[in-house]
Amino acid sequence: MSDDFDRIVAVLQETINEDTRAAWGEEAFQRWVAPPNRGALENADGSSLLRGTCGDSMAIFLRFEGERVGAASFETDGCGPSVVCGSIAAEMAVGRTAEEILDISGEEVLARAGQIPEDHHHCAFLAASSLHEAVNSHMHPGPKDG
Ligand code: FES
């Protein structure tokens, strides 16, 4: 019984993977399976947490080294495309100045994502907005506790 259930789950998962790979392309699929830069960043000196109109959240963490971002990461509770786009947005921030990051648009994130379905294009714009918000928090830090 348990073996049958496990086999059914494995077949379903493989079907989902194949459908996703066909719809998104290999690069976005691989990024969804193993997203680089996922998870909170220790000692971040810029961060954000935005909720999109879809109800999903996207966090971006930035650590600056001098004028440029030395490390960046993201976290999301959203859909697969939001994972792909958050990973891309964090990657695009590395090596750039605050001003250069503010120039990164949702369209650019979307273009790098590849074949994200049209009804998920907003996920790229959520990632870009969250990236901008993280820069704003770096440029205009709030009052410190204590
Ligand atoms: Fe909400 Fe993708 S971020 S549907």
Whether 75 contacts 38, CB under 8 Å: yes
Q: Which of 24, 56, 118 to mutate to test the pocket of ligand 1 (most atoms within 8 A of CB)?
A: 56
At 144 the pLDDT is 59
User: For the purposes of burial, counting CB atoms within 10 Å of the CB of 83, is it exposed (0-12), middle (13-18) or buried (19 or more)?
Assistant: buried
- Quick one: average pLDDT of 84-109? 98
Q: Report CA(98)–ligand 1 centroid distance (Å).
A: 25
* Residue nearest to ligand 1 atom 4, measured at CA: 79
- Strand ordering across the sheet containing 68-76: 46-51, 57-65, 68-76
**Domains annotated on the chain, with CATH:** 2-139 (3.90.1010.10)
Q: Report CA(122)–ligand 1 centroid distance (Å).
A: 7
At 146 the pLDDT is 45
Our measurement of the distance from residue 91's CA atom to the centroid of its chain's CA atoms, rounded to an integer in Å, reads 9
Per-residue pLDDT tens digits for 23-44: 999 999 999 999 999 999 999 9
Residues with C-beta less than 6 Å from any ligand 1 atom: 52, 54, 56, 78-79, 81-82, 120, 123, 126
Q: What is the pTM of this model?
A: 0.90
